[in-house]
Amino acid sequence: MKAQGKYVRLYLDGEESPLFDERGIGKWCELLDKGAFALSYRGYLLNLDKVEHVKEKALLENGWSVPVSRRFRKEFEEKDKMRWLAAAGLLFALLACTVFANLVSNAREACERVKNHKKEICLQIKQNKGHLVIVIENPVEWEVDVEHLEGATTKENDKEHGYGLQNVREIVLKYQGEMNYEVREGRFVVEVLI
């Protein structure tokens, strides 16, 4: 959007030429979401989702470059950082769900094989110094080779199974976390910190 005298030129996706509006740029600043639009320079109001990056000018996804003030540059960098943090937070939440789902699925399957003990899964999820901690325990009545556990499966079709703990390990390593598992008093215990 660009001010032109007392009018505003509106550049819309899919439109060949701009539309003109008689409300001034100040009125548009009031009407539009301040988190999504910002004045880049005198007379330029930008949709922040359309800004590729900002240096001396703002480069828009359509290839145009628009002048920017130092204030806009600083505001854009802050908003861009917040958007990246939000996206990273969403990705982390999805990966944490993958970890959780794999661990619970493995524990459930182990419980299905138990004959002489109570079939129960004990689960702890907590936060410790900014890290997510998941501890899950299930009973086992068989020998568990913890040295060769990742990639192993008890299912008949071993080509499509046995990836659960490998997936968990990859996610944990990606976030510089820790993963330990052991058999303790007839219970298989997995501890994950990410």
Is 76 among the domain residues? no
DSSP, residue by residue, 8-43:
EEE--TT-SS-EEESS-HHHHHHHS-TTTEEEEETT
Residue 142 has pLDDT above 60, yes or no: yes
Same domain? 115 vs 61:
no
Residue 175 C-beta-side C-alpha neighbours within 13 Å: 23
Count how many domains the chain has: 2
Parent domain of 41: 2-68
The model's pLDDT over 33-71, given as tens digits with 9 standing for 90+, comes to: 877 888 888 888 898 888 888 888 888 888 889 988 888
Same domain? 101 vs 186:
yes
Is 26 among the domain residues? yes
- Measured CA angle at 110 (ends 105, 115), to 5 deg: 145
**In which band, very low, low, confident or very high, does the pLDDT at 135 lie, cut at 50, 70 and 90?**
very high
Residues 6+ apart with CB under 8 A from 178: 172, 191, 192, 193
Same domain? 97 vs 185:
yes
Distance CA 30, CA 100 (A): 44
Same domain? 99 vs 144:
yes
pTM: 0.54
Residue 156 has pLDDT above 80, yes or no: no
The model's pLDDT over 12-31, given as tens digits with 9 standing for 90+, comes to: 887 778 888 888 888 888 88
Stretch among 58-67, 91-100, 152-161, 181-190 having the lowest mean pLDDT: 152-161
What letter would DSSP give residue 102?
A: H
Is 179 among the domain residues? yes
